[in-house]
Amino acid sequence: MVSRRNKEQQKTNSISDYRSDFPILTREVYGQPLVYFDNGATTQKPRCVLETIQRFYNEINANIHRGVHKLSDESTLEYENAREVVRGFLNARKSSEIIFTSGATASLNLVAFSFGEVFVSQGDEVLVTEMEHHSNIVPWQLLCERKGAKLKVLPFDENGELILDELPKLLTPKTRIVAVTHVSNTLGTVNPIAEIVRIAHSQNVPVLVDGAQGVKHGIVDVQQLDVDFYAFSGHKIYGPTGIGVLYGKEEWLDRMVPWQSGGDMIATVTFAKTTFNELPFKFEAGTANYIGAVGLVTALTYYSRIGIEAATSYEGELLQYAIERLSEIDGLTIYGNAREKAAIISFLLKDIHPYDTGMVLDKMGIAVRTGNHCTQPVIDHFGIDGTVRASLAFYNTFEEIDRLYDALVKIKAMFG
């Protein structure tokens, strides 16, 4: 293995010392120590999250909001406390602006339906970007089909940066909402959300941000960004699967209709008429994933304790190193060279199908993602079949990048 890291650089590694908090990272795959580079798809979970979930099931578990007994009380308290922690994490004004969902996809669908039902009519326009995940395209497409509205698209350039000059031209008096990703899961581009919000708000257009990748990339302050909605999944920020968040400004949430109905979201039910519960319960039908919510805030607290900025800055160093090393490989192309880029690197080896690269890397113990990453328009933009994507987290190391480099050199020789 050829490592370019010198001793001075190695010192900055200390953040990855937290690696030992993640039990799964000690396992082997095909006889090799696991290199987990699929963090964009889901992150691994620290021991404290796993222990919290187990403790909750062992000691507290009872359905929330409904029981008169002690366990239900404790469960409810932990769930509502989790909401308050998320409020603080995003710096929302009120905890009633925090809605628990099953994940980013559910949060985006919630807005597309509940906002769309009230505010989007025939002939109106919805603006998304060319780099959205399918979860932030298809719900809007379905809404537009249902309402007879038009889906418009803000393009990105060859570096994978949104062409912001086009934004004011695409906004018209008919635009009802702009839906944009904070960070592209394929290109790594970090979008200038505050600037996009400023431009959209100058035309009185609200902005929804898909924060699935963005929430772990630096501190998110929804009041400072002035976003109208912010959606993310717990499992991409070291929390459990099946829990997600939608932040929405009260002024919008209050006027939106429920998207799912059933228990907990009602105030009164008669066969003649149902009235709805107040925020945030209006949008939380059925038994909530209260244990997921508690697991999520354990993850958020853990991540904050490590230091989100320190983690992001270390990931930036890893990314820089990965770009340098991978660029040494003749015939390797990197897709996405934005000036502001999160630790996601999409690439192709010339004449080698991404699935082949991914399969062989797997056999070498290196987990990456291949394909279109649920962003078919991004892949189409470049006229390719897909990419190999290595997405990094703070528990990854420079040595693991060396292993990726060595493996790619071997794969190139193998297929060459």
Single-letter amino acid code for the residue at 385: D
Nearest of 320, 324, 335, 410 to residue 365 by alpha carbon:
410
Report the residue number, 36 or 405, with the smaller CB distance to ligand PLP.
Answer: 36
Strand arrangement of the beta sheet that strand 229-233 belongs to: 98-101, 244-248, 229-233, 207-210, 175-181, 125-129, 150-154
Distance of alpha carbon 239 from alpha carbon 140, whole angstroms: 27
Report the residue number, 128 or 407, with the smaller CB distance to ligand PLP.
Answer: 128
Among 43, 109, 129, 213, binds ligand PLP (CB under 6 A): 213
Single-letter amino acid code for the residue at 8: E
Residue 1: Cβ within 10 Å count? 7
Residue 135 interacting with ligand PLP (CB under 6 A):
yes
State in angstroms the smallest separation of the CB of 363 from ligand PLP. 24
Distance of alpha carbon 155 from alpha carbon 246, whole angstroms: 26
State in angstroms the smallest separation of the CB of 103 from ligand PLP. 3
Mask for 38-77, x = binds ligand PLP (CB under 6 A): --x-------------------------------------
Residue 383: Cβ within 10 Å count? 6
Residue 389 interacting with ligand PLP (CB under 6 A):
no
Cβ–Cβ < 8 Å for 143, 116: yes
Distance of alpha carbon 80 from alpha carbon 89, whole angstroms: 14
Displacement of CA 57 from its chain's centroid (Å): 27
Count of residues engaged in binding ligand PLP, rule: CB under 6 A: 14
Distance of alpha carbon 105 from alpha carbon 292, whole angstroms: 16
Instruction: Give the pair of three-digit tokens for residue 105.
Output: 């996809």
State in angstroms the smallest separation of the CB of 236 from ligand PLP. 6
State in angstroms the smallest separation of the CB of 154 from ligand PLP. 15
> What are the φ/ψ torsions at residue 35 (nearest 5 degrees)?
-110, 110
> What are the φ/ψ torsions at residue 216 (nearest 5 degrees)?
-95, -5
Q: Coil, strand or helix: which one is 347? A: strand
Distance of alpha carbon 280 from alpha carbon 145, whole angstroms: 28
User: Which of these segments, 5-13, 130-138, 271-279, 296-304, binds ligand PLP (CB under 6 A)?
Assistant: 130-138
- Of residues 374, 384, 409, 415, which has the active-site annotation? 374
Among 78, 125, 210, 315, binds ligand PLP (CB under 6 A): 210
Distance of alpha carbon 293 from alpha carbon 233, whole angstroms: 11
Report the residue number, 175 or 185, with the smaller CB distance to ligand PLP.
Answer: 185
Distance of alpha carbon 384 from alpha carbon 382, whole angstroms: 6
Residue 101 interacting with ligand PLP (CB under 6 A):
no
Residue 233 interacting with ligand PLP (CB under 6 A):
yes
User: Which of these segments, 11-19, 22-30, 99-107, 169-177, binds ligand PLP (CB under 6 A)?
Assistant: 99-107
Report the residue number, 299 or 349, with the smaller CB distance to ligand PLP.
Answer: 299
Report the residue number, 103 or 336, with the smaller CB distance to ligand PLP.
Answer: 103
Cβ–Cβ < 8 Å for 148, 96: no
Report the residue number, 107 or 298, with the smaller CB distance to ligand PLP.
Answer: 107
Report the residue number, 139 or 403, with the smaller CB distance to ligand PLP.
Answer: 139
Q: Coil, strand or helix: which one is 369? A: strand
Q: Residue 369, exposed/middle/buried by CB under 10 A (0-12, 13-18, 19+)?
A: buried
Q: Is 48 a catalytic residue?
A: no
User: Which of these segments, 169-177, 209-217, 285-293, 361-369, binds ligand PLP (CB under 6 A)?
Assistant: 209-217
Residue 370 interacting with ligand PLP (CB under 6 A):
no
State in angstroms the smallest separation of the CB of 347 from ligand PLP. 18
Residue 104 interacting with ligand PLP (CB under 6 A):
yes
Report the residue number, 75 or 136, with the smaller CB distance to ligand PLP.
Answer: 136
Mask for 168-207, x = binds ligand PLP (CB under 6 A): -------------x---x----------------------
Among 56, 83, 90, 103, binds ligand PLP (CB under 6 A): 103
Give alpha helix (H) positions in 267-307.
Answer: 290-306
Residue 110 interacting with ligand PLP (CB under 6 A):
no
Q: What are the residue numbers of the active site?
A: 374
Give the interface with ligand PLP as residue ranges (CB under 6 A): 40, 103-105, 133, 135-136, 181, 185, 210, 212-213, 233, 374
